[in-house]
Structure 1
Amino acid sequence: MAVNKKARMVGINHVALEVDDIDAALEFYGKIFDFTLRGRHDRMAFIDLGDQFINLSEKRSQVPDTLRHFGLVVDDREKVRSAVAALGAKILPGRGLDFLDPWGNHVQVVQYRDIQFSKTAEVLRAMGLAGLEKTEAALEELREKGMAPD
């Protein structure tokens, strides 16, 4: 039996976003999302995403992102769109919802039901999100990979 000599990627533990001011970033994202602060340390804050997190790191070191981005999964993308618009953040053109935060981080927002990304029932329950469902198209993508829930 052949042994795989390379490690396999399992998932993403966290994403780090550079911001100029942690308190301002927590206030900005707090006006868009309902979240729990996992913790703070020196010039960092950690926003809980169940079994993952976002690390806000103080002191921006690069210009605003235009192509490089991260995809954030939410339960209701239209609530995010409304909140981002109300804050006057720059919403980028396109079919979905992409925006730049005040520090130039490019955030792409996708809806949980529409994509194959999945959380376990236990994690969803712990996050207060039990009952989130998938579209048939997302379920079919999961079935094709042998990953559909029972």
Structure 2
Amino acid sequence: MSGKACLIGFNHVAVEVGSVEEALEFFGSILDFELRGRAPGMAFIDAGDQFLAISEGRTQPPDEHRHIGLVVDDREALRRALAETDAEILPGRGLDFLDPWGNRWQVVEYRDIQFTKAPEVLRGMGLGHLKKTGEALGQLREKGLAE
């Protein structure tokens, strides 16, 4: 033990938008989610044991490099949904997009990365069927996080 706190994970990510109502409409058009709660000028989008906090008040220009890494069960379904919105899908081999307020999102699929949720959390989210690729499992095994 080093005496330092150990980074365990992230409880939530907070992003600024122009309007919470418009943001809920936008995210509701591209993602299946439940609203965890609301506060004045804020809303909380549930992600199992984590959440996305959206708040009114974005004033800065669009992000070029700073981004939020979003994990989904089906990246191509999200790409199709984004095509029906005014979001800007950025060029590249992955899926990066700017939401209507200039927040940059980098989307990865759950099966492809070492990020994992506890089986009971996945079941509670109705996603107990999700599996990891061999490469993702290998990354987890290297860290002693999978058998």
| TM-score above 0.5 | yes
Deviating runs (4+, > 4 A) in structure 1? none
**Kindly, what percent of the aligned residue pairs are identical?**
63
2: CA distance between counterparts of 1:101 and 1:24?
Answer: 11
Number of aligned pairs?
Answer: 147
Contact kept, 8 Å, 2:86 with 2:100, in 1: the verdict is no
Partner in structure 1 of residue 42 of structure 2: 44
Counterpart of 2:28 in structure 1 is: 30
CA distance in 2, matches of 1:22, 1:89: 16
Q: TM-score, with normalisation over the residues of structure 1? A: 0.95
**Residue of structure 2 in register with 1:121 after alignment:** 119
Taking the TM superposition and a 5 Å limit, the aligned residue runs for 1:89-128 are 89-128=87-126
> How do 1:52-67 residues align onto structure 2 when only pairs under 5 Å count?
52-67=50-65
SS for the counterpart of 1:46 is: strand
AA aligned opposite 2:63: D
SS in 2 for 1:87: coil
For residue 123 of structure 2, what is the amino acid of its counterpart?
R
Cα distance in 1 for partners of 2:38, 2:99 equals 20
Deviations 1:33-77 (A, max 9, x none): 000000000000000000100000101132111100010000000
The unaligned stretches of length 5 or more in structure 1 are none
Q: Which runs of 5+ in 2 are unaligned?
A: none
Q: For 1:100 and 1:80, how far apart are their aligned partners in 2?
A: 13
Tell me how far apart the structure 1 counterparts of residues 120 and 47 of structure 2 sit (CA, whole Å).
Answer: 13
